[in-house]
Amino acid sequence: MDLQTKLNLLEDMLDLDQGSLEVTTELETLADWDSVAAISLIALVDEHFDKIITGAMIKEFKTVQDIIEIME
C-alpha cells in the first residue's frame, strides 16, 4: 500500500478532508485524535495489515509518520 493510500485511510478514519494530513502532522494538533480514534486505529490496522497494535504503542505516537511506520 502506498503512502497516499495510507494517509487517505487515516483521513477517513478521523473524518478529515482528503489531503489534509501530512506525515509531519503532529497528532496532538488534531481535534479528533482521542480515545475513539485510538480504537478505530487498532481496528484499521488489524483489518488492513493483520496486526494488533496496543494502547501503549499508540500513546507513544507523536506524528502521522509514527502511525504510517506500523502500517506495513
Partner 1 sequence: MANAVFNNIYIGGIACAVPEKVEKITDYIDELGEDEINKFIDTTGVRERRVVTGNQTTSDMCFVAAEQLMKEKQIDKDSIDAIIFLTQSADYIQPATSHVIHKRLGLSKNCIAFDINLGCSGYVYGMYLASTMLQGGSFRKILFLAGEMAVENPETSIKDVILFGHAGTATLIERGNTEMKCLLKANGEGYSSLIIPGGGMRKPITSSTNFYKDTAYHMDGAEVFGFTITEIPRAFKEFFDLYGGNIDNYDYCVFHQANLLILKQLARKIKVPLEKMPISLDRYANTSSASIPLGIVDLCEREQVPETLNLITSGFGVGLSWGVVSFEVESKNVLPMIYTSDYYKEAFRG
Q: Is the dihedral of CA 14, 15, 21, 25 positive or negative?
A: negative
Joined together, the cell numbers standing for residue 52 give 494488533
Looking at the Cβ atoms of 8 and 40, the one nearer to partner 1 is 40
Q: Which of 42, 63, 68, 70 binds partner 1 (CB under 8 A)?
A: 42
46/18 Cα distance (integer angstroms): 22
8/11 Cα distance (integer angstroms): 5
**Does 13 participate in binding partner 1 (rule CB under 8 A)?**
no
Q: How many residues at the interface with partner 1, by CB under 8 A?
A: 17
Contact residues for partner 1, defined by CB under 8 A: 15, 32, 35-36, 38-40, 42-43, 46-47, 52-56, 58
